[in-house]
Amino acid sequence: MRRTRRWITLVGCLFEMTVLAPAQTRKPGLWALTTTTTWQQSPFPAGVGDPTGGGPHTTPVCVTQQYFEKYGAILPQISGCRLTNLVKKAKGMTADMECTGRMSGKASLESSWSDDEHATGKVHFVGSMQVGPNSKPIEWTTASSSIYKDMDCGSVKPLSPLSDK
């Protein structure tokens, strides 16, 4: 009986280490996040152009260890959105995002990393956006890659936790 309890405890500890270890190996600090958005359905009239400016955009992002432990990845900071169905894996994560307000709809998120300094991700959003007095259908996909730069974030403020309620 004692031997069985020890094995159960040992297996439980090994399982916990396997699940928690990836979050602990991601490096907190300054990351360069490069995103490219593709519009499947833009809320803006033809000829107005890409509302994101087109092409890739690189942004410095400061990530704390607590943020990585909670989410496992760098997540989009969209006002009025909350995270649901978060699933963390050894080398990646998936989640859904529900948004209300000026932009309402649902997004699916995924991220994966090959090591503690490189990651890729994808967000696909379908919903509607308030444009003036009208609500317009919207659909977009953002592909991202992030590269660790430094443990010191300098003047870049850390990412805020998302609402997951």
Q: Which of 4-18, 20-34, 82-96, 105-119 has the lowest mean pLDDT?
A: 4-18
Number of domains, the chain? 1
Q: Looking at the whole model, is its pTM more than 0.85?
A: no
Question: What is the domain extent for residue 19?
Answer: 2-150
163 found inside a domain: no
104 found inside a domain: yes
156 found inside a domain: no
Distinct helix (H) and strand (E) counts, the chain: 2, 7
For the chain, percent of residues with pLDDT exceeding 70: 79
Whether 1 shows a pLDDT value over 80: the answer reads no
93 found inside a domain: yes
Q: Share the mean pLDDT of the chain.
A: 83
| pLDDT on residue 25 | 65
161 found inside a domain: no
Half-sphere exposure of 93 (CA within 13 A, CB side): 24
Q: What angle do CA 71, 34, 156 make, to 5 degrees?
A: 70
146 found inside a domain: yes
| pLDDT on residue 43 | 85
Report d(CA 115, CA 96) in Å as an integer.
24
